Copies of this chain bind each other. A is one copy, B any other.
């Protein structure tokens, strides 16, 4: 759970900048008590002839696709706040560097999700706390 795909032009980020970006993303979720290792971030270079916005090639743009699995938000306020948090976290790596940035989040079913062959423990459970502490899937 959360899986982040960051589609960006070649050479946009150094390895260190990618790690900092991934670290910022991870912080969004650990603050809510999720295990750190739940957060996977994949960077994908898309070259100028393969990235189109409105039918035009576009070079200074980042498109982010997020899947939320472990937690879904029912409340409109929480959802708005989540979008705002994501925007705040991505801004230093995108808009504040002059890169147009669009993101969207999908919410996918929790019960069709596994880590190392184990169905992750229920939200807030003792087992989940152990997973946070150990930062890996532990049989429960």
Contacts and interface: CB of A to CB of B under 8 A. Distances in A.
Nearest to A16: B49
Given A55-B19, A117-B87, A67 B69 contact: no
A83 B25 contact: no
Total copies of the chain: 3
Contact of A67 (B45, B51, B65, B82): B65
A88 B118 CA distance: 11
**Residue from A41, A102, A109 with most neighbouring chain B CB atoms (10 Å):** A102
Given A40-B53, A44-B50, A106-B109, 15 more contacts: A3-B104, A15-B49, A19-B56, A19-B57, A26-B54, A36-B55, A37-B54, A67-B104, A80-B119, A83-B112, A87-B117, A88-B117, A104-B112, A105-B108, A106-B108
Interface string A50-85: 111111110000010111110000001001101100
Contacts of A18: 49-50, 52
A32 to B, nearest CB: 14
